[in-house]
Amino acid sequence: MERIWLKNYPPGVPHDIDTEQYKSLTDLLETAFRVHGHSPFSVCMNRTMSYSALDELSSALGAWLQNKGLLPGARVAIMLPNLPQFAVTMAAVLRAGYTCVNVNPLYTARELEHQLKDSGATSIVILENFASTLQQVIEQTPIQHVVLASIGDLLGPWYGRWMSFAVRHLAKMVPEFELPLTEKRTVTSFKKAIDQGRRLHLRPTLQTLDDTAFLQYTGGTTGLSKGAVLTHRNVVAAILQAEAWFSPALADIPDLRKVNSVAALPLYHIFALTLCLLAMRQGSMLTLIPNPRDFGIFIEVLKQRPFHVLPGVNTLFNALMQHPMFKTLDFSSLKLTQAGGMAASEGTARNWQSATGSAMIEGWGMSETCAIGTNNPVTQKAFSGNIGLPLPSIDIAIKDDDGLSLPIGTSGEICIRGPNVMTGYFNQAAENAKTFTADGFMRTGDVGIMDEHGFTRIVDRKKDMIIVSGFNVFPSELENVISTCPGVVECAAVGIPDTMQGETIKVYVVRNDPLLTEESVARFCHDHLTGYKRPKYIEFRDELPKSNVGKILRRELRK
């Protein structure tokens, strides 16, 4: 196919990338540790961790995991917020020859149980704050080894102990829990696992670019979350594609080890995860923000040192600008404001550029594509309202339902092909058959239009997926849960526009109990759904619009 977008690439951006320069993602990490050893990798709560420390700690934890007898390729769940423990665990799992399964720490017990069972994860590294959730479901999962982290584990002997004490006993942020032990199940503290691993030897593993590196869970197109199988090649490709595309923005920084990227988005999310791995490739530094919802502390952290790359979703940028301390920030070092995860609004982008002098650069990608797909040129001086051009080695086609490519300027399903695109969903043969076209493109479920310059604009969603602050929410899952609420006969969930979150959730409910209230439905949702999946609006109706075969017509409700 003709790649009409190449002529609009910024100068110096290559048309293609070469994944073969590494044997695996692990090879990329080992190279980074060797080359960047004494450079700072992360700063969290004013405590810095170097690449050499990341190397040593991940080697120890990897050796500990190997000593537990896990089979090659075994799945290890990671349920951690943006703390230094996340990168240590991720690197340890990969270096030990296993597969990372990233888990949202805010999952409810129901959601956690599904992901652990579906992935077949036999081990989990989890922050103690969320252990009570694991306790509720661990007996129904394959988990055999639990590594229990505390917030202060890697924040130094004195400050770290104080932070863990404060979180447990002063803030009372660690609910009581008791993880049941059996002959096969072990529970070990993160620090003890590291200490024991230091006395062991990390055995080299024979990994290839085609081995699985991550099971990155996403809703795909419908229903319960599915694990996107991301190979070492997929992730290496995404790192190199991002590096190539961002290079013009950082061209005047001669040593990329001086670059400071802000990690406010959760590292378990594919957007932040890919940028974290890019930092490792370049030897640059990450400023970790464990709780970006506390915007006062977030802004205080940004004031402490110059920052050059600020990735975020539209809601993050909007909330920052609403804070009274926002005007105290110095944006003179900011080279790139990268927006993704959800549609960026023109109003937010305009206000951001006016306040910071930095244009908001919008891109588009999915968990299934390692967050990489299209992006506007980073040399852009103003917000465009489209999702940009395909990145190096990526093809984008606008196709009809039969998989045939449509003419330029015609709306159709956005389909993507490239080395960053997943091999398929884990144990989902039927879904995979529907997801890929005969010529190797992955259907995305988004409807878009490509212009004659290769820029694409999203105009609609083919499926009913709702995007709340960059997170995928699927109506069928919500409806399945809410339908179990006593007094609910049937229900339907839809997304409605929201200036802060992009979309918010509204649920229409038919009830057979006149005493059922909006408040009681909301409480039920609070107990059974994680935060971003909870409806903001609940409306009772006598009946829901349906087709002649009885299917609820969500499109009528959206109107």
- Cβ distance 377 to 10 under 8 Å? yes
**Which positions ≥6 away from 255 have C-beta within 8 Å?**
none
Res 460 pLDDT > 80: no
409: left (phi over 0), alpha (psi -120 to 50) or beta: left
pLDDT score, position 345: 76
Measured CA to CA, the distance from residue 505 to residue 495 in angstroms comes to: 5
Here the CATH number for the domain that contains residue 540 is 3.30.300.30
Instruction: Convert the pLDDT of each residue in 234-243 to its tens digit.
Output: 999 999 999 9
Residue where a domain terminates, one of 396, 430, 461 = 461
Indicate whether 191 belongs to any domain. Answer: yes
**Band of pLDDT at residue 180, cut at 50, 70 and 90:** confident
313, 407: one domain: yes
pLDDT score, position 428: 93
410, 505: one domain: no
- The number of helix segments (H) and strand segments (E) in the chain equals 16, 26
Residue span of the structural domain in which 536 resides: 466-558
Indicate whether 213 belongs to any domain. Answer: no
Indicate whether 221 belongs to any domain. Answer: no
106, 147: one domain: yes
Cβ neighbourhood burial of 107 (10 Å; 0-12, 13-18, 19+): buried
DSSP class of residue 397 equals E
Of the two residues 477 and 413, the one the predictor is more confident about is: 413
Indicate whether 124 belongs to any domain. Answer: yes
Most confident of 206-220, 322-336, 535-549: 322-336
471, 450: one domain: no
Indicate whether 46 belongs to any domain. Answer: no
**Band of pLDDT at residue 140, cut at 50, 70 and 90:** very high
Measured CA to CA, the distance from residue 266 to residue 290 in angstroms comes to: 8
Measured CA to CA, the distance from residue 114 to residue 195 in angstroms comes to: 32
Res 456 pLDDT > 50: yes
Closest CA to 448 of 503, 418, 497, 410: 410
Q: Encode 120-150: b = buried (16+ Cβ within 10 Å), e = exposed.
A: bbbbbbbbbbbbebbbebbeebebbbbbbbb
Length of the chain: 559
pLDDT score, position 547: 63
Other C-beta atoms within 10 Å of 175: how many? 12
Mean pLDDT calculated for residue range 313-338: 92
Res 220 pLDDT > 50: no
pLDDT score, position 344: 77
Of the two residues 32 and 460, the one the predictor is more confident about is: 32
Question: φ, ψ for residue 501 (rounded to 5)?
Answer: -105, 0
Measured at the alpha carbon of residue 523, what is the angle toward residues 517 and 524, in degrees to the nearest 5?
95
**Band of pLDDT at residue 218, cut at 50, 70 and 90:** confident
Measured CA to CA, the distance from residue 89 to residue 67 in angstroms comes to: 15
Closest CA to 412 of 367, 375, 446, 366: 446
DSSP class of residue 61 equals H
| Bridge partner residues of 145 (DSSP) | 123, 186
Measured CA to CA, the distance from residue 145 to residue 151 in angstroms comes to: 20
Which segments of 293-344 does DSSP mark as H helices, in order? Answer: 295-302, 314-322
Indicate whether 18 belongs to any domain. Answer: no
Of the two residues 188 and 545, the one the predictor is more confident about is: 188
Which pTM was predicted? 0.88
User: Mean pLDDT for the chain?
Assistant: 93
Of the two residues 550 and 312, the one the predictor is more confident about is: 312
Closest CA to 200 of 124, 96, 283: 96
Instruction: Convert the pLDDT of each residue in 102-138 to its tens digit.
Output: 999 989 999 999 999 999 999 999 999 999 999 999 9
- Cβ distance 533 to 503 under 8 Å? no
pLDDT score, position 223: 59
Res 354 pLDDT > 90: yes
**Which positions ≥6 away from 30 have C-beta within 8 Å?**
95
Residue where a domain terminates, one of 415, 445, 461 = 461
448, 355: one domain: yes
Closest CA to 208 of 25, 480, 12, 474: 25
Q: Is 120 helix (H, G, I), strand (E, B) or coil?
A: coil
440, 533: one domain: no
First-to-final CA distance of the chain: 38
Instruction: Convert the pLDDT of each residue in 499-542 to its tens digit.
Output: 888 899 999 999 989 999 999 999 999 999 999 999 999 999 99
pLDDT score, position 347: 81
Residue where a domain terminates, one of 406, 432, 461 = 461
Indicate whether 548 belongs to any domain. Answer: yes
421, 378: one domain: yes
**Which positions ≥6 away from 158 have C-beta within 8 Å?**
none
**Band of pLDDT at residue 435, cut at 50, 70 and 90:** very high
| Bridge partner residues of 490 (DSSP) | 510
398, 509: one domain: no
Least confident of 302-311, 319-328, 513-522, 550-559: 550-559
Indicate whether 34 belongs to any domain. Answer: no
Here the CATH number for the domain that contains residue 301 is 3.40.50.12780
Instruction: Convert the pLDDT of each residue in 36-49 to its tens digit.
Output: 999 999 999 999 99
363, 439: one domain: yes
198, 250: one domain: no
Task: Please write down the HEC assignment for all residues of 420-482.
Answer: CCCCEECCCHHHHHHHECCCCCEEEEEEEEECCCCCEEEEEECCCCEEECCEEECHHHHHHHH
Res 463 pLDDT > 80: no
Per the structure, the count of domains in the chain is 3
Mean pLDDT calculated for residue range 190-212: 97
Here the CATH number for the domain that contains residue 201 is 3.40.50.980
pLDDT score, position 407: 95
421, 347: one domain: yes
102, 182: one domain: yes
Res 343 pLDDT > 80: no
pLDDT score, position 222: 47
Radius of gyration in angstroms for the set of CA atoms belonging to the chain, rounded to a whole number: 23
Of the two residues 197 and 316, the one the predictor is more confident about is: 197
**Band of pLDDT at residue 84, cut at 50, 70 and 90:** very high
